[in-house]
Structure 1
C-alpha cells in the first residue's frame, strides 16, 4: 500500500496535467463552485505541465487522483499497473494540431523531416501525434518530437519556430490564431473533426485514481464523481460567459473576451453527465494499439480502466 494512503489524510490531492487548459476545466470549475465541499471533501488541486508527469505523481503515491487523459489507464494496464477513471470530462480530445506561420506543412503527410511539438514525451499529445502521422504514412523515425509544454511555453516554441507544427488545446489555440502565429491543421475540438482524425469518438480527459485506493476509499471516490457530474450539468446549463465568470481571472491570459469566445466554440466537447461514452474505450484502445507495440496483441480488460458507477449514482441537485 502506498504511504500516501496510510492514515487516510483528510485532504485529497488531485494532480492536473495543466490546470488552466479547457480540457481540465471541469475539475477547477467544480472547486470554484464549491461542489467538492458540498460532498464534505477537502480537495487540493496541483498542476503539472503534462499529463504524463501527473500520472507519475499518482504512481508514486504523492497524490490520490489525477485529472488526466483516459488513454493513460490503458497504457498503464499494459505495464501491469491498475488505475481506473471514475468520471469523464471530454468525449473528444479537444486537441488541435496547429502549424507554425511560415511552415510548409499542409497535413500530417508532410511531417517527414519536421519537428512536431507535444506537451511531453509519453503524453497523450505524443500518442495522438504518432497515430495521426502513422495514419498518413509517416513513421516515427521520420520526424522529430519536441516536448514544449503548454500555454506560454507552447506559444514561445511556435513563435521562435522551434516546431513546425504542434498539438495543444484551448485557450492556447485561440491565442495563437488571434495573433496570426499559427493556423489549424487538424481540429479535434468537435465530434466530426475527431471522427475524421481518429476514426471514431475518443473520450479524452477525466478523473482517474489508483485501483487500490479506489477499493478502500469508495465514499471519497463517490464524492469526487458526484461533484464532477454536477459540474458537467452546470456546464451544459450555463453560458460560456457565466462559466468564465467562475474561473480565476489569471486563466484569461489577459483577454477575457478571447477566453469566452474559445470556450463558446468548445462547449460541445464536454460530456453531459461525466459518463464514459459508449464505444469510446474501444476506439482509444484501437488508436493506442496502432502505435504502441506493448499494447498491440496484449489482452487489455477495458472494464477495469473506467467505471460509470459513481457518476451514475450522483444525486440530482
Structure 2
C-alpha cells in the first residue's frame, strides 16, 4: 500500500512523463523547410565580408537546419545578383545597398538576415604611383582598383569622390577581385588607389603599399562616413520567394545567426582552423590582423538596424542621380522577422 508521500511522488512523476510526451511530438512535428536544396550566389566569398556565411557552411549549420545549400562564388556581388535575378540561384548573399538598386529598378527584393553592420572597406592611396597625394581631388584621372564594377567598394569610392567634388567618370575604376590579383595589380604600379575589403587592405597597409585615407573597417569609422548605421553583407531573396518559403528563410536565418554566435567567442586559432587555407592568402598572421580590425563590424545578432535602410538609401542617392529616393520606402528593404526568431532561439 502506498503512503501519501509516495503517492504524491508518483503523481508528480506521471505529470512530468506526460509533459515529456507532449514536448517530444511537438519537436518531431516541426515542419521542414519548403525547399531543402538551395543554390546561394555570392561574390567574393573568401573575404571577411562573408565570413559568417563561410562559418555556417564549414561548421555544417545549414545541414543542421535541414538544408542542402550549394554556394556559387562569383567574381563580384553584381554577378551574384544577376544569378539570382535570372533564376539560377534561389538566394543571394550580397551588399545591403543592392536592395536599394533593385527597388529602384522595380524589383521587389528584401534582406532577411544581416552578416555585417559595416562595409569593412578601406580606401588606400598607392605610395608608389601617387606619393605626393594630398587630397581626394588628386584622384581625378587616376586608376582606382575595386573588386568589380558595381561592388560595394566602388560605391564607397564614388561616395568619397563625390564629396571631393568629382564625378564618378572622372576616375577610372578597374576590377581586380578581392584576393591575390588585387595585391599584385597595385604592387605592379598599375593602380593609383585601391578601395577594397579585408584581408586585402590590411595586407597592403602593413607592407606600406598604400596610405589609408578612408576606413569603414570599424563601426565608428563606418558611422562617421555614412552618418548612420550602414548595413553590409546580408542574405536576400525576392519578396515572392520569402512569402512562399518562410520556413526555408527561417532555416537560413538560423544557420547564419548560429554562425554569428560562434564568431562572438571564437579565437584567432578557431578562425584559421575553420576557413579554407586559400583564404589566408599565404600570410596567416596578417589574415588574423585583418580579422581583428573588422571584428566589431560583424553583426552580433543578424538584425538590420532601424536606420539601416534610410542610411543606405541616402548614401546611394547622394552620388547616383538615377536613384529616386522619394519612391523607395527604406522600411521595405529588409525584414527582421526571421533574424529576430533566430536571436531568440540562440539567446543572443
Does TM, scored on the shorter chain, surpass 0.5? yes
Shift of 1:304: 2.2
Separation (CA, whole Å) in 1 of partners of 2:330 and 2:226: 19
Mean Cα displacement is larger for which, 38-47 or 109-118? 109-118
Contact 1:132–1:198, Cα closer than 8 Å, also in 2:
no
Question: Which of 168, 178, 201 is residue 229 of structure 2 equivalent to?
Answer: 201
Q: What residue is the counterpart of 2:85 in the other structure?
A: 59
Residue in structure 2 matching 1:152, options 180, 183, 189: 180
The structure number with the bigger radius of gyration is 2
Contact 2:229-2:307 within 8 A present in 1 as well: yes
> Deviation of residue 277 (structure 1)?
1.5
CA distance in 2, matches of 1:44, 1:297: 35
**Pairing 1:11–2:37 present:** yes
Equivalent residue number for residue 272 of structure 2 = 244
1:139 paired residue number: 167
Counterpart position of 1:228: 256
Question: In the aligned structure 1, how far is the partner of 2:269 from the partner of 2:334?
Answer: 32
User: Closer, same or farther in 2 for the Cα pair 1:297/1:173, shift >3 Å?
Assistant: closer
Structure 1 range deviating more: 249-258 or 65-74 = 249-258
CA–CA distance in structure 2, aligned partners of residues 297 and 209 of structure 1: 21
Look up the match of 1:113.
Answer: 141
- Cα distance in 2, alignment partners of residues 251 and 141 from structure 1: 33
More off after superposition, 202-211 vs 292-301:
292-301
Q: Distance in 2 between matches of 1:296 and 1:117?
A: 28
Match of 1:316 in 2: 346
Are positions 1:100 and 2:136 aligned together? no
Between the two proteins, the alignment pairs up a number of residues equal to 310
Change (3 A) 1:297 1:265: closer
Higher helix share: 2
Instruction: Give me the whole-angstrom Cα distance separating, in 1, the residues matched to 2:45 and 2:232.
Output: 15
Q: Aligned partners of 2:123, 2:240: CA distance in 1, in Å? A: 36
Distance in 2, Cα, partners of 1:195 & 1:294: 24
Map of 1:46 onto structure 2: 72
Quote how far apart the aligned CAs of 1:59 are. Answer: 0.2
Q: C-alpha separation between the residues in 2 aligned to 1:191 and 1:277?
A: 13
With over 3 angstroms needed to count, the CA separation of the structure-2 counterparts of 1:9 and 1:91, relative to structure 1, is closer
Q: Which residue of 2 aligns with 1:5?
A: none
Cα deviation digits, residues 199-253 of structure 1 (max 9, x gap): 2221111111122211211111100001111111111122232222211122111
- Secondary structure of the structure 1 residue equivalent to 2:346: coil
CA positional deviation for 1:47: 0.6
User: Aligned-pair RMSD on alpha carbons?
Assistant: 1.6
Q: Residue by residue, what CA displacement relative to the aligned partner does 1:98-124 show, whole Å, maximum 9, x if unpaired?
A: 112221334423221211122222222
Structure 1 gap segments, 5+ residues each: 1-7
Q: Distance in 2 between matches of 1:243 and 1:122?
A: 29
Of residues 295, 299, 302 in structure 1, which corresponds to 2:327?
Answer: 299
Q: Give the counterpart of 2:238 among 210, 234, 249.
A: 210
Q: Is the 8 A contact 1:50 1:149 kept in 2?
A: yes
The whole-number CA distance in structure 2 between the counterparts of 1:225 and 1:311 is 6
Report the Cα offset of residue 65 of structure 1: 1.0
Distance (Å, rounded) in 2 between the aligned partners of 1:120 and 1:141: 15
- Does the Cα contact within 8 Å between 1:15 and 1:63 map onto a contact in 2? yes
What secondary structure does 1:282 align onto? helix
Looking at structure 1, the residues matched to 229 and 300 of structure 2 have their Cα atoms a distance apart, in angstroms, of 15
The range that moved more, 209-218 or 67-76, is: 209-218
CA contact (8 A) 2:37 2:69 kept: yes
- Structure 2 distance, partners of 1:69, 1:277, is 15
In structure 2, the CA distance between the partners of 1:43 and 1:106, relative to structure 1 (3 Å rule), is farther
Q: With structure 2 as the length reference, what TM-score do the two structures score?
A: 0.85
Q: What secondary structure is seen at the aligned counterpart in 2 of 1:236?
A: helix
Determine if contact 1:78/1:298 at 8 Å carries over to the other structure. Answer: no
